[in-house]
Structure formats: C-alpha cells, structure tokens
A = this chain, B = another copy of it.
C-alpha cells in the first residue's frame, strides 16, 4: 500500500461515526477482568463496571523461534498506526528486504514493495509453495510466477536459521547455507488470538488460544461476549477449531453480538468458517472459498474437481478482458459444492462471493448447472462459457461417472 497511498492518516477511520452513534471512547489498556464482579481494571488503576462486556482483542503476530528476531529492522504487521508508520518509514529507506512467510501478508507485501525498481526483495517460505493453506498447487504456482516476474526472489521449502547483524539486521541465513543481505526483515508467519486477558480471568480458552464462544458470541462467563479474531471459529465442514481470521467474519460476529446482546432475538447460527479470501498479486486477482483439493485430502473428504477457463468479457478481445479461471470442488457422492478457487481480473472479487454463498447454502451441482446468472459483454464471460457454470456442468458428468 505504501506506494499507492500518499498518506496513511487520511485513510484512518476516525472516531466520528462512533461518537455520532453516542459511543464514549476511552483509550487505555485493560489489565484485568473480573467476570464475577462485572468489572475491568485499566492500566492507570481505574475500575470500570459493565452490564455487558465485549472482548474484541484481535490477534497478535506470531514470533518464530529464530535467533535475531529482536534485532532492529525486524518488523511484524501490528494493528497500530504508529507501528505501521515506523514500518512505512523504514521501507522507504531500505533497499534489501527479506520477508519471512509466504502467506497473504508476505505475498502482498512483496508485491507492493516490488513497485520500487531499486528494491531487492526475498520472500522465504518454509512450506513447499506460497499460499499453500488457501490454494491448490496450480494457483500457488501462478502467484509464484507473477512475483518472480516482478524480480522477487522466492525461496520455498527452506527454514530460516538466523537473522544476523550487530544491533540492526544485516542478513538472513537459510538452512540451505544461503546468506541474504537485508536492511529490513518482515516476519509474516502468521498470527495467534490475543486471549491472555480472558485466560487470566478464567474464561474458557480453546487449544489454539481462541476464546470459546457459542453461536451468539457468548463466552462461558455470564454477560461477556467475544468477537473477531480473538473468538473461537469453527470450520464449516468439520466443526474443528479453524485458525482463520478475516475482517469480514469479524464484522459479521460484531453484528451477531450487537443484535443479541440483551437477549437472543435473531437466531443467527454462525454456520462455521468457510474461509473466503481474495487478493491481487502482480495485477492479477486470486480468490478462494471453502475447501481446496489439499484440504479435502487432509480432512478425508472424497471429492471431484473441475476447472473451466474463459475470457471475462465477451467477445474476449474487448479492451480490459482477462482470462477467468474457476476451479470447483464437489463432494463426491453428495454432489454438493465444497469449495472454489478463482483467478482473473477484478471481477474475481465478487465472483468468489457467488461461490461463497453457494458453499454456505450447500448448493448441489445440478442447481449450479441451472443457475440463472446475469451476463453482459462488458462485465462478464459469455453465458455459453461462463467458467462458474461450465465448471459445474463438467462436474455433473464427472460425478455421474463416479457413481457406479
């Protein structure tokens, strides 16, 4: 972002909308919670009592056990304006940058940094491919190629053994023996829920560190709610704890808690996390929702998968047309959609939400094959070849052949 946006301040949300809604804003650190007494204590010693309490403490970046992570010039992404400004300033000075962790944050950060033609960028991932938790191989490979085209040096399947230098960072050493000079290191290896306050107060914490909540965002302490990244997410398909933290989920949970805070009024039933992501890398858009082939295999789901490709305008030679690729994953016998991955132009951003809704509604393949969609030469693929419909249609035949 640092290159596209002149000033971060003008992009801050500000307090006005909250103040207009009659909300009193108090800035301070809560150091303890007494759930029985219905009070919280601030760092300055002030005690506040509450009728209802909502914990929205978010996540904090994971720190890997690598020697040297505390050196000057090593950053994580923090949810603080001052921290982001410090990182931004350092980015403008640095020329040799190493990003450790090739998930969304790492890949997007590398993509943005590469707009500076003088920057020398390394992206290091311990797994065999970038973005492996969200995409199947072909999408990971496409993203890798796009980043490499932008002169980003990618190292996968390799561990960082140390971050070296005197006071400040000077280089990063890999298990392979490679030593990469660095003025700046970004750690983007993941995040974990910030749940220490809740834990100390005796609230139930689930093994990955999330605060346990029911379908209405209620914790096991009376009158205490938890929403957003700090609150437990359950996977849509397996009901296991799902370490997926998305702003879109957080806002839905906020609406859920807000509506139901003085008594359950809307049976919202959080259906579980389908993990709907979108991104733009190297000018191309990528998105994923639900299960990939990889997660199906890991979780023991039998699946059928199909991929369809077509221009996202019709005819395809219209200015602004991109190739749109849709991969769908269906439950083998049930024929219900489990997931989808998409790449293409900016229409990907909302097309993935068609797939996301289909997953949430457990739409069978025969309904997707007959789905009524709007199409237009300047806005979508042709109706004859729309990759979402065509992938579903192919799956219909493929699923038939799997039922003996």
Contacts and interface: CB of A to CB of B under 8 A. Distances in A.
Interface of A: 1, 4-5, 10-11, 246-252, 255-256, 259, 265-271, 273-274, 276-280, 285, 287-289, 315, 317-319, 346-354, 356-358, 360-361, 363, 366-367, 369-380, 382-384, 386, 389, 393, 396, 400
A4 B319 contact: yes
A227 B22 CA distance: 58
B353 A270 contact: no
A4 B370 CA distance: 32
A257 to B, nearest CB: 12
B369 A356 contact: no
Contacts of A1: 377
A280 B379 contact: yes
Contact of A371 (B280, B357, B366): B357
A280 B372 contact: no
A278 B349 contact: no
A251 B383 contact: yes
Contacts of A255: 369-370, 393
Contacts of A361: 357, 361, 363
B374 A315 contact: no
B318 A276 contact: no
A389 B356 CA distance: 14
A357 B360 contact: no
A348 B318 CA distance: 18
A248 B370 contact: no
Contact of A349 (B259, B289, B317, B374): B374
Nearest to A272: B372
Contacts of A382: 247
A277 B366 CA distance: 22
Given A4-B319, A379-B278, A372 B356 contact: yes
Given A4-B318, A347-B349, A373 B276 contact: yes
A10 B316 CA distance: 11
9 contacts: A1-B377, A247-B383, A249-B372, A255-B393, A271-B372, A349-B350, A353-B374, A354-B357, A356-B373
Given A353-B373, A372-B248, A379 B11 contact: no
Contact of A277 (B317, B374, B378, B383): B374
Contacts of A259: 396
Given A248-B383, A346-B346, A348-B379, A268 B371 contact: no
Nearest to A400: B265
Given A250-B383, A376-B278, A371 B356 contact: yes
